[in-house]
Amino acid sequence: MALRRVVCVRSLPTRMAASGRVIWTGGLTHFDGRRFRTLTVGSGIISAITGIVQDNSGVIWLATAGQAAWSLGPLPEEGNAIAAEQHGEASGIKNKLLGMAVFQDGTICFVEDGGGLPTIKDGRAADLSLPGALGLFNPTTVFQDSHGNIWVGTQGGGAFRVDPKTNNFDRFDISNGMNSNTVICFGEDADGGVWIGTIDGGASVVSSNGVRTYDLNNGLHGRFRALRGPGPRRQPAHRNQ
């Protein structure tokens, strides 16, 4: 049965990156479809891993809660130590990161504790600029949907959906249907709806039908750490007759 909606995770120490049958998950563990393998990064990461993503070239990136970001080298043939390069202040990235995301154009965006959204693309660092969308609120998470819109969750300000081509934005918070203004995570379902997980108000889905919120009244717990969805359905290809 195809997954139409999202998987809601109440407690998860890190996110997950997957390619084919290969899955990476914290703290750092690699699964190749047959067995799990626990790895150490370089001389060792002592900070919690707060995000795992895979960029467009296949490189695995880590965000940490105290040692900035790391890009991983190839899996070692022997032993458990994997080579890694740290990306910190020299790359414009603070040590304490809340998470990260990969955009469609290959940009890696990091969420810094305290409000920054630094990015790396093709080895070049920059700051994500979202004029007018954030203002007084610190970002907590970032996500890009299948239409290219960038979603930013905030502490106390709800969620912002930004069109990067025009910088036009929409804001979603308790004034238009959500139960909480502190956003922890996003996910996209098979119908293209974007789910917003909150710290204490359940989850809301934004679709063409508006905003609908699920919480304890619908049998769903109220606190979230992660959302995982399949993304929109792919339309079947049509052959020329």
* Higher local confidence (pLDDT), 139 or 131: 139
* Model pLDDT, residue 164: 87
Task: Give the strand order in the sheet containing 169-172.
Answer: 139-144, 150-154, 159-162, 169-172
Structure-token match 């093709």, residue found: 122
Q: Which of 97, 140, 145, 148 is nearest to 120 (CA)?
A: 97
Burial (Cβ within 10 Å: 0-12, 13-18, ≥19) of residue 1: exposed
Beta carbons of 199 and 184 less than 8 angstroms apart: yes
What is the percent of the chain where pLDDT is above 90? 51
Q: Tell me, what DSSP letter sits at residue 60?
A: E
Of 30-44, 118-132, 167-181, 187-201, minimum mean pLDDT range: 30-44
The pLDDT tens digits for 87-102 are 999 999 999 999 999 9
Residue 217, φ and ψ in degrees, nearest 5: -70, -20
- Does residue 157 surpass a pLDDT of 90? yes
The pLDDT tens digits for 29-77 are 888 888 888 888 877 788 888 888 999 998 999 999 999 999 999 988 8
The pLDDT tens digits for 202-214 are 999 999 999 999 9
* Model pLDDT, residue 12: 42
Which amino acid does the sequence have at 26? Answer: G
211-227 average pLDDT score = 82
d(CA 186, CA 104): 16
CA distances from 204 to 9, 30, 115, 188 (A): 14, 32, 23, 11
What does the mean pLDDT of the chain come to? 83
* Model pLDDT, residue 4: 40
- For the entire predicted model, the pTM comes to 0.84
Q: Which of 51, 44, 46 is nearest to 69 (CA)?
A: 51
